[in-house]
Amino acid sequence: MMNPFILTIKDSIVGDTIFSNYTVTSHIEFYKGSVTYFCLPGRVIIFPGSLGAALEPLRMGKPFNLISTWQNVQVYR
């Protein structure tokens, strides 16, 4: 399920405050024959690439677009 992603950063300054707005966009697809790794503290769980196919009947394994946004605010005085 490794898909390329785009990271966009837009900074703006208002007075002594810097606002950094981050956006990550990606198109997610599950590929047959691939492996999905979940890293947990002290262990790694490996799921075969059929994870996406197994999730399709649940309407969870279909391709989808991912958009994640967050903001960082820094004040300089």
**Amino acid 14: pLDDT:** 95
Count of domains observed in the chain: 1
Is pTM beyond 0.85 here?
no
**Amino acid 28: pLDDT:** 78
Residue 37: domain span: 5-75
Ramachandran quadrant class, 69 (left: phi over 0; alpha: psi -120 to 50; beta: rest)? beta
Chain length of the chain: 77
The mean predicted confidence, pLDDT, of the chain is 81
Q: pLDDT band at residue 2, thresholds of 50, 70 and 90?
A: low
Q: pLDDT band at residue 1, thresholds of 50, 70 and 90?
A: very low
